[in-house]
Amino acid sequence: MKKGFLVGLILLGIVLGFSSLIEDIQERGVLRVGQDSAYMPLYGTDYNGDRIGLEAEILQKMADILGVKLEFVVVNWDGIIPALLTNKFDIIWSAMTITPERAIKVNFSIPYLTVGQVIIYNNNKFETLPSLEQLKKLDNLKIAVQLGSTGNEAARTIFPDKELLNFDTIDEAAFQVATGKADIMVFDSIYAYNLEKKYDQISVSDELISKEDFGVAIKKGDFDTMRWIDTFIRSIKTSGELDELIQKWIVDYQPEL
């Protein structure tokens, strides 16, 4: 009995000896956020080099509540989880889809946005987009994808015998479709509609081929920080702030050309 009590005290001491990520961020005075280069209208960089977009504004609000500065660490998408796990930044808030495979490596918050995968196509090649079954039967169909994205995974699943052209960024992949070097692209609906505004040669399918939730990722084991992030997400939803930002950045936003 005494031995069990002593072990319990030791474990309690170990738990209390570790500070949460939130406390570390406040002590440091900087919230470091991992993102890839751009996923407008959620995040990107303007001509002055400043980060802009829906997520950038949410993250600034988070930093203000914590009383710290906000710092973005930009990495390639396919290396973003390894960078988190090696402490290059504190959290991933970067339009990351919650998947069981990723949840093996990181902990996810509750969803803050729900989106779907769509097909982005070159409207000079296709006046109207063929059905999925018709696309599967086309010879020499070239599909542009971003490395490590769920669009990449969806394209591999739906078109297993087609040629995939892999690129580090979304914009590189989209440019291949706009210039006719690729026929279609599979990607998230939010960014797809932004691309449609940017390129006259690009159109977006009306049909969602899948649905997915975006969440915030942190390293495993820090449940206090995860609860705090969940509370923050709930607060911007119930206050209407998230709806206002969606109106500003997704409905009304016009990309800089």
Contact predicate 19/58, CB 8 Å: no
Instruction: Round to whole Å and give the CA distance between 257 and 254.
Output: 9
- Cβ contact 170:144 at 8 Å: no
pLDDT digits (tens, 9 = 90+) for 68-105: 999 999 999 999 999 999 999 999 999 999 999 999 99
Instruction: Give the pLDDT band (50/70/90) at residue 207.
Output: confident
Global confidence as pTM: 0.73
Query: Residue 223: how many CB atoms within 10 A of its CB?
Result: 11
The mean per-residue pLDDT over the stretch 178-191 comes to 91
Q: Are 42 and 59 in contact (CB under 8 A)?
A: no
Question: Is pLDDT above 70 for 18?
Answer: no
pLDDT band at 256 (very low <50, low <70, confident <90, very high): low
Give SS3 for 156.
helix
- Does pLDDT of 11 surpass 60? no
Question: In the predicted model, is pLDDT for residue 174 greater than 90?
Answer: yes
| Structural domain 18-114+213-251, CATH architecture | 3-Layer(aba) Sandwich (3.40)
Least Cα distance to 28 among 68, 74, 87 occurs for 68
CATH of domain 116-211: 3.40.190.10
Contact (Cβ atoms closer than 8 angstroms) between residue 106 and residue 81: yes
Residue 69 confidence (pLDDT):
98
Mean pLDDT, all residues of the chain: 89
* pLDDT of 211: 86
CA dihedral 44, 47, 51, 55 (to 10 degrees): -50
* pLDDT tens digit sequence for 129-154: 888 899 999 999 999 999 988 889 99
Q: H/E element holding 151?
A: helix 150-158
Instruction: Please name the amino acid found at residue 111.
Output: P
Mean pLDDT of 204-219: 91
Same fold, 18-114+213-251 and 116-211: yes
Q: Where are the domains of the chain?
A: 18-114+213-251, 116-211
251 pLDDT above the threshold of 50 = yes
pLDDT(15) > 60: no
Would you say residue 5 has pLDDT above 70? no
